[in-house]
Amino acid sequence: MAPRTLARLKSVDFYRKLPTDLTEATLSGAAISIATTFIILFLLGAELSSYMSTQTRTDMVVDRSAHGELLRVNFNISFPQLSCEFATLDVSDAMGLKRLNLTKTVRKQPITEEMQRAGQAVEDKKHHDPKYDEEHPGFQYEDVNISVPLTNDMFDQTAAQYDILVVNFFAPWCPWCQRLGPTWEATTEEIHNRYPESDGRIRLAKVDCTAEVDLCRKHYITAFPSIRIFRHGSGGGVRAAPRGPRRRRVPQLLHGSQRPDSHVVLTTIEPRRRPELQFDAYEYTVQSHKYNAEDHASAKFTYKMSPIQIVVTEQPKQLYKFLTAICAVIGGVFTVAGILDGMVHQVNKIAKKVDLGKQG
């Protein structure tokens, strides 16, 4: 019974085999087989890369933002010819609500004509408690001269010798100089131990203004103690500068700039596997126009929000489509290669017959 059942099962075999003795290997078939193998591997790699890549679908829907949600807008505007005291910020909306001269979230920074910072930013700062050293230098540094005493003859040479020279201009009778003395000598010892004289980067020194009067006058020393920093022999210019603005008006040649940012569209990215990674992005177009400052001494920034929201959703790829593509690649390439091999084999047979006919 069993042999008959097995014989019936064998009759259903779609892939019947030929004996090895009845097959013939050819050089053209081997070349086509090698080429077919590389083509199949390349197509399989391309299908796998396509399956692992991420595809998205873009839909346009009505804006689904929560009611009352705020849009954060950061401005960084530079007016080199405008004093900070004349710069104000006003906000208004389409409903007619206006808020004038906002100061809570405004930070003003003085700048030069080259857009470089020219002073401290004007903002409210929280004053922290000062930090003190754990141990104050004791009496062992009172009568010690670790820092180099400089004279008028050797000052310029010493300043040019080091990249940075920190000089303490003092007077022996000054009580504040006497209090600074131990700390200055302790700091000098620590800096000189870390950066020896052969290093040439930094050195600490001191000048006794009661003995070197001309040197102290040369550097405009008017109070004691005075600490000056010299870089490559230059201490920079010392001059009195006005604290307030040099101009008490808005410059007439100032050109305002009106930049309405229109068509602001909210775009939401929705990942398929990790919904918590969803985020919003805004796309907008910008137009700019210039006006004469005498007619329009202000800069306007207008945002026109679009009621349409763009939703970008990740598209999943089905596994059965990937398997179908793999089978199609293997079967299709193998079939086409078999047809090509059969054509080449038939052409070779005809060529051999023609050669045999000529020889006969």
pLDDT at residue 261 in the model? 44
User: Within a 10 A sphere around the Cβ of 122, how many other Cβ atoms?
Assistant: 14
Q: What is the pLDDT of residue 42?
A: 93
**Lowest-confidence pick of 173-187, 208-222, 236-250:** 236-250
Q: What per-residue confidence (pLDDT) applies to 58?
A: 81
Q: Is the pLDDT of residue 96 over 90?
A: no
Q: How many CA atoms lie within 13 A of 251 on its CB side?
A: 12
pLDDT for the residue numbered 259: 44
**pLDDT at 39 (0 to 100):** 92
Residue 193 has pLDDT above 70, yes or no: yes
Task: Lowest mean pLDDT of 109-113, 147-151, 157-161, 242-246, name the range.
Answer: 242-246
Instruction: Tell me: pLDDT of 164 over 80.
Output: yes
Which residues share a beta bridge with 234? 231
Is the pLDDT confidence value at 103 over 70?
A: yes
d(CA 44, CA 89): 61
> What is the model's pLDDT at position 280?
62
Element spanning 231, H or E: strand 226-231
DSSP E strand stretches across 171-216: 202-208
Concatenated DSSP letters for 68-117?
Answer: T-----------TTS-GGG----EE-TTS-EE-S--TT--B--B-TTS-B
Least confident of 197-211, 261-275, 340-354: 261-275
pTM of the predicted model as reported, rounded to 2 decimal places? 0.36
pLDDT band at 41 (very low <50, low <70, confident <90, very high): very high
pLDDT at 252: 47
The pLDDT of residue 92: 82
Inform me whether the pLDDT recorded for 249 exceeds 60.
no
- In a 3-state reduction of DSSP, which class is residue 127? coil
Q: Following CA atoms 194, 196, 200, 202 in sequence, which dihedral angle do they give, to the nearest 10 degrees?
A: 40
Q: Which helix (H) or strand (E) holds 325?
A: helix 319-359
Residues 161, 231: Cα–Cα separation, whole Å: 10
Task: Report pLDDT digits (tens) over 217-244.
Answer: 888 888 888 899 888 877 655 554 455 5
Three-state helix/strand/coil letters over 185-197: HHHHHHHHHHCCC
Residue 142 or 226, more confident: 226
Between CA 20 and CA 18 the distance in angstroms is: 6
CA angle 154, 160, 161 (to 5 degrees): 85
The predicted structure's pLDDT at residue 78: 84
Top mean pLDDT of 197-201, 291-295, 330-334 is at: 330-334
What's the pLDDT band for 121 if we cut at 50, 70, 90? low
Residues recognised as catalytic? 174
Length of the chain: 360
Task: Convert the pLDDT of each residue in 310-351 to its tens digit.
Answer: 777 877 788 888 899 999 988 899 888 888 888 888 888 888
Contact 254, 81 (CB under 8 A): yes
Give first-to-last CA distance, the chain, whole Å: 58
Residues with Cβ < 8 Å from 182, sequence gap 6 or more? 136, 137, 138, 139, 141, 142
Main-chain phi, psi angles of 56, to 5 degrees:
-125, 160
Q: Is the pLDDT of residue 181 over 80?
A: yes
Residue 140, pLDDT > 80, answer no
Q: How many CB atoms lie within 10 A of CB 157?
A: 10
pLDDT of 289 above 50: yes
pLDDT at residue 257, rounded to an integer: 43
